[in-house]
Amino acid sequence: DAGITQSPRHKVTETGTPVTLRCHQTENHRYMYWYRQDPGHGLRLIHYSYGVKDTDKGEVSDGYSVSRSKTEDFLLTLESATSSQTSVYFCAISGQDTQYFGPGTRLTVL
Amino acid sequence: QKEVEQNSGPLSVPEGAIASLNCTYSDRGSQSFFWYRQYSGKSPELIMFIYSNGDKEDGRFTAQLNKASQYVSLLIRDSQPSDSATYLCAVGSGSARQLTFGSGTQLTVLP
């Protein structure tokens, strides 16, 4: 394993509530990513970070925000969860030749 | 919008056969190409990457790249039931820093 953990691993929440997902790495990589994976859509980039406090939007960033106050932690926040945000969320870190993925968080918004 | 297209499958092959997985991409400036394997309920794991035109072999896996045709493929020789998974193609403009993923091809290897 590439030293990436995600928490929580499973979460059920209700529409309109805030949700924060955490990604923690022990590899000291500069680049970190949040993806969502839905049937028929593959992995879609939500946000990424290229250093502490340096973040940028991905393909599907609406409704999501991120923060990175330490190299090892990258947080994804859904300010007001909607049913369309029900998905599996993967965190990833990037070396030169590959991206390594965390175990994923399954989020259900009722 | 950069696009990466894969046949969703499912693709079924008998044990011992060659499985061929295909991927096309829209961005002619793409420079790096990756194949990931994802078992059901698990996270993607890298199988191979390829940067240059031609073939790259690693054990039972061969990646083939044709930049002129904007096409990359993965061949799995002597397919095993343990190869049954979804295979994701990913394309980058340089290193692995910015990748666009296809939706994946589901492969089933029948004993």
Output the tens digit of pLDDT for each of chain B's 111 residues. Answer: 789 999 878 999 999 999 999 999 999 999 999 999 999 999 999 999 999 999 999 999 999 999 999 999 999 999 999 999 999 999 998 666 789 999 999 999 999
> Tell me, what's the pLDDT at A2?
63
Q: Chain B: give the shortest CA distance to residue A58, in Å.
A: 10
Q: Chain B: give the shortest CA distance to residue A96, in Å.
A: 6
From residue B55, alpha-carbon distances to A65, B16, B75 in Å are: 41, 21, 10
| DSSP one-letter string for B32-91 | EEEEEEE-TTS--EEEEEE-SSEEEEETTEEEEEETTTTEEEEEESS--GGG-EEEEEEE
B46 chain-A contacts, CB cut-off 8 A? 98-100
Contacts of B102 by beta carbon, 8 Å cutoff, 6+ apart: A42, B4, B5, B6, B23, B88, B89, B90
Tell which of A5, A38, A43 to mutate to test the B interface (max B CBs under 10 Å): A43
Q: In what helix (H) or strand (E) does residue B108 lie, and over which residues does it extend?
A: strand B105-110
> Tell me, what's the pLDDT at A32?
96
Supply B106's token pair.
């589901």
CB contact under 8 A, A40 and B103: yes
Residue A89 has pLDDT above 60, yes or no: yes
Instruction: Tell me the CA end-to-end span of chain B in Å, nearest whole number.
Output: 40
CB contact under 8 A, B46 and A98: yes
Q: What is the pLDDT of residues A19-40, one digit of tens each?
A: 999 999 998 999 999 999 998 7
3-state helix, strand, coil in chain A (%, to 5): 5, 60, 35
Smallest Cβ distance to A96: which of B42, B45, B95? B95
Smallest Cβ distance to A43: which of B46, B88, B95? B88
B99 chain-A contacts, CB cut-off 8 A? 45, 99
Residue range A62-74: average pLDDT?
97
Query: Quick check: A54 contacting B, CB < 8 Å?
Result: no
